[in-house]
Structure 1
Amino acid sequence: MNIGTRIRNLRKSRGMTVTQLAEAIDSDIGNVSRLETGKQKAFTEQALARIAKALSVSVTDLFISEDLVDTGYINSTNLSVTGGKNVYRVDVLDVSASAGDGCVTGEVVEIVSSIEYDVDYAKSIFGARPQGTVTLINVRGDSMEGTINPNDLIFVDNKVNIFDGDGIYVFDFNGDLFVKRLQKVKFELRVISDNKAYEPWSITQEELDMLHIEGKVIGSQPQQIRRHG
Structure 2
Amino acid sequence: MGFSERLAQAMKLAGFTQGRLAKEVGMAQSSVNKLLKDANGSRKTVEIASVLGVRPEWLSTGEGEMNSINNEGTSSPNHLKVSQSGIYRVDVLDVKASAGPGALVTSDFIETIRAIEYTSEQARALFGNRPATNVKVITVNGDSMDGTISPGDQIFVDTGVTQFDGDGVYIFVFGKTLHVKRLQMQRDRLAVISDNPIYEKWYVEAGDEDRFYVMAKVLLRQTIDYKRFA
TM-score interval (norm. to shorter): 0.5 to 0.7
1:111-155 deviation line (CA, Å, top 9, x unaligned):
112211111111111111112110000000000000001100000
Partner of 1:101: 101
Partner of 1:194: 195
Residue 120 in 1 paired to residue 126 in 2? no
Q: CA RMSD in A?
A: 1.5
Residue 183 in 1 paired to residue 184 in 2? yes
- Map of 1:52-201 to 2, 5 A cutoff? 85-105=85-105, 106-201=107-202
Residue 211 in 1 paired to residue 180 in 2? no
In the TM superposition, residue 89 of structure 1 has moved relative to its aligned partner by 0.8
1:80-119 deviation line (CA, Å, top 9, x unaligned):
xxx9811101011000000000010121111112211111
2 CA distance for matches of 1:131 and 1:219? 14
Partner of 1:44: none
Does the 8 A contact of 1:103 with 1:178 survive in 2?
Answer: yes
In the TM superposition, residue 223 of structure 1 has moved relative to its aligned partner by 3.7
Aligned partner of 2:100: which letter?
G
What TM-score comes out, normalization by structure 1 length?
Answer: 0.60
Query: SS at 2:209's partner residue?
Result: helix
2 CA distance for matches of 1:84 and 1:177? 36
Does the 8 A contact of 1:187 with 1:204 survive in 2?
Answer: no
Aligned partner of 1:136: which letter?
V
1:149-188 deviation line (CA, Å, top 9, x unaligned):
1100000000000000000000000010000000111221
Does the 8 A contact of 1:168 with 1:217 survive in 2?
Answer: yes
Aligned partner of 2:191: which letter?
R
Aligned partner of 2:146: which letter?
E
Aligned partner of 1:170: which letter?
I
Partner of 1:38: none
What TM-score comes out, normalization by structure 2 length?
Answer: 0.60
Does the 8 A contact of 1:184 with 1:190 survive in 2?
Answer: yes
2 CA distance for matches of 1:113 and 1:100? 26
1 CA distance for matches of 2:110 and 2:190? 26
Structure 1, unmatched stretches of 5+, are 1-82, 225-229
Partner of 1:32: none
Aligned partner of 1:202: which letter?
Y
Query: SS at 2:114's partner residue?
Result: strand
1 CA distance for matches of 2:194 and 2:143? 9
1:50-69 deviation line (CA, Å, top 9, x unaligned):
xxxxxxxxxxxxxxxxxxxx
1 CA distance for matches of 2:95 and 2:125? 26
Structure 1's consecutive aligned runs of 4 or more residues displaced over 4 angstroms after TM superposition are none
2 CA distance for matches of 1:163 and 1:111? 25
Does the 8 A contact of 1:152 with 1:220 survive in 2?
Answer: yes
Aligned residues: 142
2 CA distance for matches of 1:176 and 1:89? 28
Structure 2, unmatched stretches of 5+, are 1-82, 226-230
Does the 8 A contact of 1:93 with 1:112 survive in 2?
Answer: yes
2 CA distance for matches of 1:173 and 1:163? 14
2 CA distance for matches of 1:87 and 1:143? 35
